[in-house]
Amino acid sequence: MNNDFTERLKKAFDNASMAEVARRIDVPHATVRNYYQGRMPAPEVLIKIANQTHVSLNWLLTGTGPVFIGDARPASFDRFLNDRIGEVVDRMLTERGVYSVEDLGSIDEPPLFDVTSAVLEFGDPHRVMSEWFRHEGREYPEDFGVAFFRGWDGFSPDEKVDAVRDAKKVIDRTLRKK
Record the pTM: 0.43
pLDDT level of residue 101 (50, 70, 90 thresholds)? low
Sequence-distant (6+) residues with CB within 8 A of 65 are: 56, 58, 59
- Give the span between the Cα atoms of 115 and 112, in whole angstroms: 9
Q: Which fold has domain 3-71?
A: 434 Repressor (Amino-terminal Domain) (1.10.260)
Domain boundaries, the chain: 3-71, 74-102, 115-177
- What per-residue confidence (pLDDT) applies to 72? 52
- Give the span between the Cα atoms of 21 and 10, in whole angstroms: 9
Q: What is the pLDDT of residues 17-67, one digit of tens each?
A: 998 999 999 999 889 999 998 889 998 999 899 888 888 888 888 888 888
- What per-residue confidence (pLDDT) applies to 100? 67
Q: What is the pLDDT of residues 132-155, one digit of tens each?
A: 999 988 888 866 656 667 888 898
- What per-residue confidence (pLDDT) applies to 1? 57
| Least-confidence region, from 7-11, 53-57, 70-74, 150-154 | 70-74
Annotate 56-114 with DSSP letters as a single string: -HHHHHHS-S-SBGGGSPPP-HHHHHHHHHHHHHHHHHHHTT---------SSSPPPP-
